[in-house]
Amino acid sequence: MDSAREKIIPVTAIVALIIAVWYVAAIFMNAPVQRDMNKRADITPTTLEFVVQTYTQAKPILPAPHQIVANFYKSTFEVKPTSRRSLVYHSGVTLSSTLLGFALGTVLGILIAVGIVHVPALDRSFMPWIVASQTIPILAIAPMVIVVLAAVGVTGLIPKALISAYLSFFPVVVGMVKGLRSPDFLLLDLMRTYNAGRATVFWKLRVPASVPFLFASMKVAIAASLVGAIVGELPTGAVAGIGAKLLGASYYSQTIDMWSALIAGSLVAALLVVLVGAVGGFVEKRMGARPS
Amino acid sequence: MKQTNLKIVSDAQASGSARSARPVIEIKGVSKTYKTQDGEVPSLRPLDFDINEGEFLVVVGPSGCGKSTLLKLIAGLLPPSAGEIRVENRVVTSPHRDVGIVFQSALLLPWRRVLENVMMPVEVKGLPIEEYRRRALDLIKMVGLDGFERKYPWQLSGGMQQRAAICRALVHDPKIVLMDEPFGALDEIVRDHLNEQLLELWARTDKTICFVTHSIPEAVYLSTKIVVMSPRPGRVTDVIESTLPKERPLDIRETEEFLAIAHRVREGLRAGHSYDE
């Protein structure tokens, strides 16, 4: 309770500071355009009127926070969730490929980690490629994956999920390799004195020991999955999803729409990370972890 | 320790003091050399000694003299570079069944409760769970951990964790128990208490114990026989048969007899040093 209160005050202070700076910045960012418009319309507003004008533009360079909130509220709660104007609809589209990609990436990551831990040759041959795979910009790979798969008739959810999986398997591999190798050397000796086979060591020792590592890397992986899904939506011709919404809005300089899509994306990411963290906390508590 | 009348002793071992000095572990010309990138590092120079049935043998030596290596060799976790080790007349080539090990850290699995940790060897070896569960509970009671069976390791103090580790080493009723500085990480008060408990446990179960330490009082207090080792590469500088009675209250450590043995151990350790320098 105390720690929550200790956290709330500094966090709110920072948010208040950011919003204050934002409101000031919005005036200056939007002022040049507003001055031009006023000159053309031959209006000379007072300073206060001018400030209000910079906060009420239809396509401001930097929208004021309340404009974004209003737009976000409208396109989330006042539009039917099945409508193409609804952020719920677009978030849902992105979420589905995020979750599928996350599931694929996690399973793939675990399998690769198990292989690396048990086969020394895989450790030497796989690991450099896995690291290299993450140094290639995802923006370069995503369109190729989409185009190549579209050429063989695979479109829609799968290509986007694959890009998500491409980004999310990496943290899982790294975390799981570390987790599966975490049992003390002496514990492995102890297991040998019980004549334990590799399968027994794996299930009774390595797997339980790796659980905290798995959830820590899944938190990173699910955020990466969302990024992958959004990037995967960009080259699809902006049909649906948060990525499509971002791209469409930027086409028409609908900055307020862009910002509210951005917020939708951030909220989905935060929600997913918190969810994975909660599941991890629950599982670890069931496994007898010391409450922190 | 609780005074409980437990049938922890298997019939074969119950022959008690009438046992003959039959060697359970024979160490014949055993040496160990580690191969590292900088060449060969000798860890143990040829060792020769026996450990008799029901004996409490303590190996005492400075840190890094290869005491732990010796235990691993006896356990079959490492192959000797030369010589051979026989346990129950069979040459040790791989980990064998009749041994329980306790290390310096308790090494309990944090996701298992105390009873589940103690039952680990039984599960892995595929022994009958129900039968050994009773044994595990008896052992837990003997070391005074009753009431803590369902606690997780982090809920236990260091000394309690080490007691649980001792139960785990004994649960499958091994003939031989190997202990690698099991109380080294504990404070002296807890260590004294656990030393006392260990002697009682040994008296009641009649195991053959090989115990490694660098504490001279601990070595003298626990042992029926002391093997004194020199610094790396370790060799035996003295073998001392303890003349202390089997019944040992803690204040036996202030008797002339005790101090005389301790003195001889210290002499042996010093002999090892002068040899090296």
* CA nearest to A160, candidates A98, A108, A222, A103: A98
For residue A153, the domain's CATH number is 1.10.3720.10
* CA nearest to A206, candidates A243, A236, A177, A181: A181
Q: What residues does B241 pair with on adjacent strands? A: B225
Q: Which helix (H) or strand (E) holds B115?
A: helix B114-118
Residues of the domain holding A107: 87-286
- Within 8 A of A190 by CB-CB distance, chain B residues are 101, 103, 107
Same domain, A160 and A279: yes
> Mind listing the pLDDT tens digit for each residue in A144-197?
888 888 888 887 788 889 989 999 999 999 999 999 999 999 999 999 989 888
pLDDT-wise least confident of A104-108, A255-259, B204-208, B270-274:
B270-274
Helix axes B188-205, B158-170, angle to 10 degrees: 20
* CA nearest to B158, candidates B139, B176, B184, B140: B184
Same domain, A52 and A118: no
- Region A105-130 average pLDDT: 92
Same domain, A37 and A107: no
Q: Are A169 and A112 in contact (CB under 8 A)?
A: yes
**Which of the 8 DSSP states describes residue A88?**
H
| Chain B stretch 67-126, residues whose beta carbon is closer than 8 A to a beta carbon of chain A | 72, 75-77, 95, 97, 99-101, 103, 105, 107, 109-113, 120-121, 123-125
Same domain, A56 and A91: no
Choose, out of B124, B132, B173, the residue to mutate when testing the contact with A (most A CBs < 10 Å). Answer: B124
Rounded distance between C-alpha atoms, residue A247 and residue A233, angstroms: 9
- HSE of A91 in the Cβ direction (CA atoms, 13 Å)? 20
- Region A124-151 average pLDDT: 86
Q: Are B225 and B259 in contact (CB under 8 A)?
A: no
Q: Do B154 and A290 touch (CB under 8 A)?
A: yes
- Within 8 A of A186 by CB-CB distance, chain B residues are 103, 105, 107
Q: Are A94 and A233 in contact (CB under 8 A)?
A: yes
Same domain, A21 and A159: no
> Mind listing the pLDDT tens digit for each residue in B136-173?
999 999 888 999 999 999 999 999 999 999 999 999 98
ipTM of this complex > 0.90?
no
- Within 8 A of B95 by CB-CB distance, chain A residues are 192-195
Q: Does residue A81 fall inside a structural domain?
A: no
Same domain, A154 and A251: yes
Same domain, A151 and A277: yes
- Residue B187, Cβ density class (10 Å: 0-12 exposed, 13-18 middle, ≥19 buried): exposed
Task: Please tell me the predicted confidence (pLDDT) of residue A238.
Answer: 54
- The model's confidence at residue B36, banded by pLDDT at 50, 70 and 90, is confident
d(CA A108, nearest CA chain B) in Å:
26
- CB-nearest to A186 from B97, B103, B112 is B103
Helix axes A255-286, A207-233, angle to 10 degrees: 170
Rounded distance between C-alpha atoms, residue A53 and residue A39, angstroms: 13
Helices (H), ranges, chain A: 2-41, 47-54, 65-73, 87-118, 120-135, 138-151, 157-180, 185-193, 198-201, 207-233, 242-251, 255-286
Q: Does residue A77 fall inside a structural domain?
A: no
Q: What residues does B211 pair with on adjacent strands? A: B58, B179
> Mind listing the pLDDT tens digit for each residue in B167-199?
999 999 898 999 999 998 888 888 898 899 899
Same domain, A273 and A173: yes
CB-based contact, A195 to chain B, within 8 Å: yes
Instruction: Read off the amino acid at residue A200.
Output: T
d(CA B2, nearest CA chain A) in Å:
28
Q: Are B183 and B195 in contact (CB under 8 A)?
A: yes
Q: Do B124 and A205 touch (CB under 8 A)?
A: no
Q: Which helix (H) or strand (E) holds B112?
A: none
Percent of chain B with pLDDT over 90: 38
- Cα radius of gyration (chain B): 18
The torsion angles phi and psi of A195, rounded to 5 degrees, stand at: 55, 40
Q: Do B107 and A196 touch (CB under 8 A)?
A: no
Same domain, A146 and A279: yes
Domain residues of chain B, as ranges?
103-174
> Mind listing the pLDDT tens digit for each residue in A202-250?
999 999 999 999 999 999 999 999 998 898 888 765 578 888 888 888 8
Count of domains observed in chain A? 2
Q: Which two tokens stand for residue B176?
A: 């031989």
Q: Do A289 and B110 touch (CB under 8 A)?
A: yes
Same domain, A189 and A229: yes
Q: Which residue did the predictor score with more confidence, A4 or B73? A: B73
What SS3 class is residue B237? strand
CA nearest A182 in B: which residue?
B109
Q: What residues does B102 pair with on adjacent strands? A: B179
Strand blocks (E) in chain B: 23-36, 39-52, 56-60, 82-87, 90-91, 99-102, 176-180, 208-213, 225-229, 236-241
